[in-house]
Amino acid sequence: MQLVVARIGRAHGIKGEVTVEVRTDEPELRLGPGAVLATEPAGVGPLTIETGRVHSGRLLLRFEGVRDRTAAEALRNTLLIAEVDPEELPEDPEEFYDHQLMDLDVVLADGTEIGRITEITHLPSQDLFIVERPDGSEVMIPFVEEIVTEIDLAEQRAVITPPPGLIDESQAVIASSRDEEGDGDEAPAAGKDA
């Protein structure tokens, strides 16, 4: 099975290094020196990682055969794809590969069916489950511990405890609102003597 593990960004310096947007929780395993990665577009690769280092919080990679800024810049926006055994699991039991989560049933703690995961979107701040409801509509569920309380791969389900309004908009709680006109709590107008 193939997994996208990074996207190549801008060239860095003049010796062929590139910045990468990491899309794996295991960069040391997937993006280490010697790793051979397929690419999208396929004609660019495969690419073999020669060196890697962190600079100002960003991962920089250099690939075999890429020796200058021009060659590095030509790789921009290329996806790096690792071949992963479908039976392989992440080292941390609280982490999951996308393919493990796809098609899981999403249920409330009491067993009420919400739908099934049809897509996983990776955002900078968090991941989102795109869940198809039985009526064909979709709902986005943040993949955070406070909401997704359990992933049970054996039972093929994700248990959630959504805040009011996440699943049913009619249950939404308004965090703050302005006083409505005529409720008697109006502040005195500026410039009037009390």
pLDDT digits (tens, 9 = 90+) for 29-68: 788 888 899 888 888 889 999 998 888 888 899 999 999 9
- Tell me the one-letter amino acid at 145: E
The DSSP code for 169 is G
Question: Pseudo-torsion of CA 179, 183, 184, 185, nearest 10°?
Answer: -20
Residues 2-26: tens digit of each pLDDT: 778 888 999 998 889 999 888 776 7
Q: How far is CA 130 from CA 7, 111, 184, in A?
A: 22, 19, 45
Pairing of strands 157-160, 105-108: parallel
- The pLDDT assigned to 172 comes to 52
- pTM metric for this prediction: 0.54
pLDDT at 107 over 60: yes
Reported as a single tens digit per residue, the pLDDT across 77-94 is 999 988 876 666 666 667
Q: What is the DSSP string of 57-91?
A: TEEEEEETT--SHHHHHTTTTPEEEEE--TT---S
Comparing 97 with 19, the larger pLDDT belongs to: 19
- Per-residue pLDDT tens digits for 108-157: 989 889 999 998 887 777 888 989 999 988 999 998 889 999 988 888 99
Q: What's the Cα-to-Cα distance from 92 to each of 25, 27, 66, rounded to whole Å?
A: 10, 13, 34
Supply 194's token pair: 């009390």
Average pLDDT over residues 153-182: 71
With 50 as the cut, is the pLDDT of residue 158 above it? yes
- Predicted pLDDT at 92: 67
pLDDT at position 55 is: 85
Q: What is the distance between the alpha carbons of residues 46 and 146, in angstroms, rounded to a whole number?
A: 40
Closest CA to 5 of 105, 81, 98, 95: 81
- CA atoms of 63 and 65, how far apart (whole Å): 6
Quote the pLDDT of residue 181.
Answer: 47
Q: Report which residue type is found at 131.
A: V
Q: Within a 10 A sphere around the Cβ of 38, how many other Cβ atoms?
A: 16
Reported as a pLDDT band with limits 50, 70 and 90, residue 163 is confident
pLDDT in the model for residue 50: 92
Q: Whose CA is closest to 11, among 80, 58, 81? A: 58
* Residues paired with 138 in a beta bridge: 132
Task: Say if residues 50 and 62 touch (Cβ distance below 8 Å).
Answer: yes
